[in-house]
Amino acid sequence: MNRKRGFTLIELLVVIAIIALLLAIVMPSLGLAKRKAKMVVCRSNLKQWGTIFVMYTQDNDDRFYRAWTSTSRGHEWINCVQPYYQDPQIAFCPSAKKIRGTLPSHSPIISFEPNEAWGRFEDDDPRPGYAGLAGSYAINDWVGNPAEGFYAGTESMYWVKSSQRGASRAPLFLDSRWLGGWPMDTDTAPTNPNGSGGVGHMGRYCIDRHEGYVNAVFVDFSVDKIGLKQLWKQKWHPEFDTSGYRLAWPEWMEGLKD
């Protein structure tokens, strides 16, 4: 006689165990693929930003916007480049879309997680272009045409033009936890992967957002990734000592590529 045969409990448990094993094997690969895809999209965003800066400098005799001017006007690039793009999503690295919260006008609050965006600024923020603004990339504040008397260092420390000698490997716009900064070769490495705990502004860019790397568009408008230890070898300003970091790396950075 023909009998209907179903799965026994043992057979069902074996199938479940096999599926669980396969998932355990496949999931890390899927996670790695997802992270790499986000890094590719991030670099695509920065290529678009490179085009934006190209268009701006072409319209302004190869000169960049005004650098940081004062707390009443802030970062001039924010307002200057807005006419050159329409999609606000390119301001966000896909690995850092979480907005920390609304920031009061002139707030010094800085995002403290690699996967957090800076902002959002209040809708009535008086600074040009700031209202409602948020993002997860930042300018290198040594790039710009500073107004008389508004120098973070000296006038000679700024990249005023994209064609300026030595500017090809100067970071222009890159992954960051705040909207700008003035890195110095004497800045110390952050003690935490969220960029906090160091001295100076380098920690705003030295964040573990892409597994030991950040993405950047340079003053020559090329796009590349930068190893976190390599940040101290970039030509942030014309007088920056690119010989590298001179202290011991914090524990979380020790295993990163040199």
| 170 within 8 A of 136, measured Cβ to Cβ | no
Per-residue pLDDT of the chain (258 residues; tens, 9 = 90+): 555 555 676 767 777 877 877 767 766 655 556 777 888 999 999 999 999 999 999 999 999 999 988 877 889 999 999 999 989 999 999 999 988 777 765 565 666 788 889 988 989 999 999 999 999 999 999 999 998 878 888 899 999 999 999 888 899 999 999 999 999 999 999 999 999 999 999 999 999 999 999 999 999 999 999 999 999 999 999 999 999 999 999 999 999 988
Among 177, 185, 171, 191, which Cα is nearest to 108's?
177
- Within-domain flag for 167: yes
Alpha helices in 59-156 (DSSP H): 76-80
- Within-domain flag for 168: yes
Name beta bridge partners: 128: none
Name beta bridge partners: 140: 181
pTM: 0.84
Name beta bridge partners: 121: 103
Check residue 65 and give its pLDDT.
Answer: 93
CA dist., res. 127 & res. 72, Å (int):
6
What number of helices (H) and strands (E) belong to the chain?
Answer: 2, 8
For residue 90 the two structure tokens come to 């390119």
Count of the separate structural domains present in the chain: 1
Cβ contacts of residue 101 below 8 Å, gap of 6+?
A: 120
Check residue 258 and give its pLDDT.
Answer: 87
Name beta bridge partners: 218: 171
Burial of 95-113, coded b for 16+ CB within 10 Å and e otherwise, reads bbbebbeebeeeeeebbeb
- Within-domain flag for 120: yes
CA dist., res. 36 & res. 38, Å (int):
5
Check residue 100 and give its pLDDT.
Answer: 75
Alpha helices in 59-99 (DSSP H): 76-80
- Within-domain flag for 212: yes
CA distances from 117 to 13, 112, 174, 258 (A): 45, 9, 13, 27
- Within-domain flag for 124: yes
Expressed as residue numbers, the domain containing 109 is 39-253
- Within-domain flag for 30: no
- Within-domain flag for 2: no
CA dist., res. 118 & res. 133, Å (int):
9
CA dist., res. 57 & res. 96, Å (int):
28
CA dist., res. 256 & res. 258, Å (int):
6
Among 248, 171, 256, 243, which Cα is nearest to 207's?
256
| 134 within 8 A of 99, measured Cβ to Cβ | yes
- Within-domain flag for 33: no
